[in-house]
Structure formats: C-alpha cells, structure tokens
Amino acid sequence: MELFALKLPLIKKGDPLLDIIISELDKQGKPLKEGDIVVIAEKVIATSQGRVISLSDVKNISIEAKKLSELYDMDERYVELIIREASMILGGMTHVILAKVNDFLIANAGIDQSNAGLNKVVLLPKNLKRVVWEYRDNLKKKY
C-alpha cells in the first residue's frame, strides 16, 4: 500500500475541483488504479462551492442566536450560522453547540473557523453525498 498527498493549488470559489484533482494526478504521475482510495477534505469541497462566509456579512441576527451566544460565550454571528445550517439545536457548553445536520449530530453544525481567514468560517459542503458519488463515478470513468 502506498499513501501520498496530492499537492493542489489554492482552491477558490467556483474552481472545478474534480478537474484540478485529475490534472494534478496526471501531472504528478499518480494515475489511480482499481481499489485505490481517494480522500478529499470537506473544507476543500466547501471552498470550491463558495461556502466560505465572512462573519461581517452575517446580518439579521435572531433572538435565539443572541441568547445562545450569550449562554455559550460565542460570537452571535457564528451562532446565527449554526442555527441556519442545523435542522435542530440540541444544547451545548462553553464555545460549543451540539446541532443536528443531515441526520448527524455535530459540534457547531460542522462550521469550521480554523484556517478560514480572519473573521471567516467554512460551512459544510452542500449535497456532499451527491458530490462524492459524482467524483467517484467520474474518477472511475477516467481511470
């Protein structure tokens, strides 16, 4: 078994991620074979989908977000995004809200603040299951 990281250029909103991955596999001499496993970070998919949000763009903060932000010591704009992304809020503790998203229980609705940029967050990808199957099918056709 061989493990390798594929070096990609910085991915931006609207970038054709799958095309970039295929191009880089070819450039780096790493064609896929039957049985290979491809791992793509959710954050990269979300970034290509334009799911990077500036907290300064979050307007119309709900009363619920204001209450929860005070209760759990969190930025109310961040909490507002959690509420918008979740189908249900189940509770929380300092800096963490447990939310239900796509039938999963996940901290802060899966919204990632790490390495997103100053006052920015990355939401979970939209239609992730569909995207993954599309990528899989296209990679199988190509290789």
What digits encode the pLDDT tens for the residues 5-17? 999 999 999 999 9
- CATH class of the region 53-123: alpha beta
pLDDT for the residue numbered 2? 77
Q: What percent of the chain has pLDDT over 90?
A: 88
Q: Look at residue 141 in the predicted model and tell me its pLDDT.
A: 93
Per-residue model confidence (pLDDT) at position 40: 96
Q: Which helix (H) or strand (E) holds 23?
A: helix 17-27
- The answer on pLDDT for 97 being more than 90 is yes
Structural domain spans, the chain: 11-51+125-143, 53-123
Lowest-pLDDT choice from 31-40, 81-90, 124-133? 31-40
Task: Please say if the pLDDT value at position 64 is more than 90.
Answer: yes
Q: What was the pLDDT predicted at 70?
A: 99
C-alpha 139/C-alpha 35 separation (Å) is: 12
- Can you spell out the DSSP letters for 30-85? ----TT------HHHHHHHTT-EEEGGG--S--HHHHHHHHHTT--HHHHHHHHHH
Q: What's the mean pLDDT in 80-97?
A: 98
Q: Sorting pLDDT into bands at 50, 70 and 90, what band is 35?
A: confident
pTM of the complete model: 0.87
